[in-house]
Structure 1
């Protein structure tokens, strides 16, 4: 006897099963990609010889416990853990990361922070054989390093392009998180062209691929099995993965590695301006339809921008037709140009649109020189305890910031200032609860800072003021 209820239940079950199978069929199968690409992904370990008593505190480094947890990965990523060696006179610091082979004769790409300061670099292949690597060159500004191992017919990755990547596209990472070789994680592209603190020349790819310490330097693949990025950083509050990972676009990395291989250094375009973000109020005051572009806060004397007619108060809307949405877009575009090239800048000046032709300069190797002649007049370098140099503010700058005193950071070296996130362009108005009225005053207060006690500093960054604290060790 026909049972209508049973029939309908069976039909519903079949339809539900079909929908489930269809949904699963829509998910990518990463198996072929992993099988093909894994042999070219390597584990990188380094050794660095240290004096017996050398430690972060012995070098005047501040206590990281006072930092917001979300920034610890950025600061600790390149700080190797040194094993205890009470009886010996020399210790070894070790670090661990990932990399990938880009040519059959043994060129390997990784992050600069994975191999920085290493006395010995060991590359371990997928068959667990180990090869000593030579550092061909490294670029701290993009965090890219190129290594070379001796070998023939080595497995290689397929190199793709990062520009065609789309937000929402599937990507996959292979690396050695916490030393677990050839771990595979997958996710999607969350955003492109991200700007990160102290990373002016890299338009990062943001993903939700699980990245942890040890993944640094490893490849990010698209579904075609092509490398589209180098996994470099994470944003974290806990010290581990929290859904925000950042990769260096392979287009940027290949440009850097090619220059390192052929010239031994990296040349970048330079405009010679200090810029800031355009918010809603600034957009209205400059007659813009919406907050976009890069506001020129300072034009460096005798720099490319000054020679090209750029003025303080100009808002740069595009470079060679490429729009400047956020101010951080400008350094990416300028840095990618070859020195000597001519670029067209679309600017808004006093409500009117203008096109300016500018000959791009060569970014100086020394960050002190980036400010250009005249911009560092009155600059004084603090003691190495803070690791920064500062300069007097001009009357125009003080008026723009609506402050009576303060100094601008011109250069940040390795040390406490770098570890608490200070960067060139920041303005310090108070140090250790004392007002700063000149570079000379700042230097004197910095020299007399107490040890092993919290010290406050008031910092202006893009018009926003905040107090931060840090400690100086013995």
Structure 2
């Protein structure tokens, strides 16, 4: 018994020191609540991206820390920052009426941040000796320039290779060789209760290491969908109580061997700071996203092609029963409520009312399980679906398809113009053109965060008047001008205040 206590004592001391250092660090750092990193930290329903920085120091796990710290970098995001200007909302509504939606809501006007001041900072992990770095999408979103600073303070300007808002993963590249890097571990093998380290740059504290355990697996916390940037989010986070704070986003969650098991992404908190609940994207999912970006330039995503109800959500089940006059019981599994066009699941014989209970032998208890099991695969992949129908269990093999019904992979060259530039466009009402003296125009819609259109300052509901000097009145006009075009693109647009800008980007 005594020998067991002696073995456990160092880990208990780590936990005490880690927690005490966190509290002390926050009390000290809270004196500067207006620092640049704080503006990059967002909250939604008490769930917040850990977009900036964290605190706490471990006294053990020396081998893992020595392996990890040199491979974790600081990422500085330089961009045009937007700030709310509520005093100008009435002028906007008076001039433009309400074609942009949301009368009475605050509008945003762009202000240029000094070039030498980052709009936000986060972390990243070097995953190859030739300079590939993985981080979060929200760490790099909207950047005009990305600076990477190594633990030895050496600085580089990074190229953004690609991003995936649906998993909150991004891939960067710096030009260097012989860099320290981390190996991906098989995150499927992690166990609840095992020790882990979180390494990042929280609250301005570079190369910080904190210790904790895996608290849970397969957590869906709704942050990607609530931020409105992910059309088909995959949330199956590793939950940990290792201290994670603003600035840890994009940093490493490693096992005691120093192998990468997750990318730290979010915290759940009522204050915006660490309260014991941190979340990381599993390494297996992150690795798949990185491989897709490197090989294809875009993420390959397979879909079952079903609409569904998460039976683990008793409130949603009750609401569904009331609306549809059914009597499904809350519990475990995913209820099939319908099918999309060209559905692989429907082709394989699934029917409305079937309850999916496993994919390839992995139990499906809730939507987080389903999104991870299917979303981590590519179009054309086959999965064995186990389901219940009228109380009887059955299986079928489903060929996954992309959202367009295809079963083959795509590259950037296969993307449509609107997919490449990151926005769709709706025609502008002719009456509106007449009233405000516009000869042309389309309304930007579904602008993707971090896209080429977003980088030049266009957001949803701004009016694009011309592209490359040519008037545009429909999405077809935009596609015709930019189809097979590879040069610099000039965009003339009107912002929410009636100001006209001309800005450009290079066609991807």
Pair in the same fold by TM > 0.5: yes
CA contact (8 A) 2:382 2:400 kept: yes
Pick from 361, 368, 372: which aligns with 1:328?
Answer: 368
Alignment match of 1:146 (pick from 160, 171, 177): 171
Asked if residue 227 in structure 1 is aligned to residue 260 in structure 2, the reply is yes
Of 198, 201, 205, 1:180 maps to 205
Q: CA 1:352 to 1:240, structure 2 compared with 1: closer, same or farther past 3 Å?
A: same
Of 233, 239, 242, the match for 2:272: 239
Contact 1:134 1:148 in 2 (8 A): yes
Deviation of 1:57 (Å):
5.1
Deviations 1:75-133 (A, max 9, x none): xxxxxxx9887xx9x99761100111111111111111100110110011111111110
Looking at structure 2, the residues matched to 163 and 364 of structure 1 have their Cα atoms a distance apart, in angstroms, of 30
Structure 2 match to 1:104:
129
TM-superposed CA distance for 1:306, in Å, is: 2.4
Compute the displacement of 1:292 (Å): 1.3
Shift of 1:21: 4.0
Shift of 1:300: 1.9
Q: Does residue 1:275 correspond to 2:308, yes or no?
A: yes
1:351 matches 2:391: yes
Three-state SS of the structure 1 residue aligned to 2:335 is: strand
2:162 counterpart residue number: 137
* Structure with more contact order per residue of length (Cα contacts < 8 Å, sep ≥ 6): 2
Q: Contact (CA 8 Å) 1:84, 1:91: kept in 2 or not? A: no
Partner of residue 65, structure 1: none
Match of 2:220 in 1: 195
Tell me, in whole angstroms, the C-alpha distance in 1 between the residues paired with 2:170 and 2:388. 39
Give yes or no for the alignment of 1:126 onto 2:159.
Answer: no
**Distance in 1 of aligned mates of 2:67 and 2:142:** 33
Q: Which has the larger radius of gyration?
A: 1
Shift of 1:49: 2.8
Q: Return closer, same or farther for 1:136/1:298 CA change in 2, 3 Å cut-off.
A: same
Q: What SS does the aligned partner of 1:228 have? A: strand
- The alpha carbon displacement at 1:23 in A equals 3.7
1:163-174 pair list within 5 angstroms: 163-174=188-199
Contact 2:355 2:388 in 1 (8 A): yes
Residues 258-300 of structure 1, C-alpha deviation per residue, up to 9 Å, x if partnerless? 1111111011110111111225788998898x82110112222
Match of 1:55 in 2: 83
1:26 Cα deviation after fit: 6.1
More strand by share: 1
Q: Offset at 1:342?
A: 2.5
Q: For 2:132 and 2:87, locate their aligned partners in 1 and report how far apart those are by CA, in whole Å.
A: 34
Pair 292,57 (structure 1): closer, same or farther in 2 beyond 3 Å: farther
Q: Does the alignment pair 1:160 with 2:185? A: yes
1:113 is matched with 138
Q: Hey, what's the Cα distance between the residues in 2 that align with 1:221 and 1:157?
A: 9
Unaligned 5+ runs, structure 1? 1-14, 62-81, 366-380, 385-410, 416-471
Q: TM-score, normalised by structure 1?
A: 0.63
Find out whether 1:259 has 2:292 as its counterpart.
yes
Distance in structure 1 (CA, Å) of the matches to 2:8 and 2:385: 48
Report how many aligned residue pairs link the two structures: 335
Q: Residues 253 and 264 of structure 2 are in contact (CA less than 8 Å); yes or no, is this contact kept in structure 1?
A: yes
Contact 2:184 2:287 in 1 (8 A): no
Query: Structure 1 residue aligned with 2:240, among 207, 219, 234?
Result: 207
The answer (yes or no) to whether the contact 1:49–1:91 under 8 Å persists in 2 is: no
Q: Which residue of 2 aligns with 1:456?
A: none
CA contact (8 A) 1:114 1:217 kept: yes
8 Å contact kept, 2:136–2:169: yes
Deviations 1:310-351 (A, max 9, x none): 222111111222221123311211112221123222222223
Q: Tell me whether 314-323 or 173-182 shows the greater mean CA deviation.
A: 314-323
State the match for 1:39 in structure 2: 70
Give, in whole Å, the separation in 2 of the partners of 1:217 and 1:358. 34
C-alpha RMSD over aligned residues: 3.6
CA distance in 2, matches of 1:313, 1:382: 37
Question: Where does residue 249 of structure 2 map in the other structure?
Answer: 216
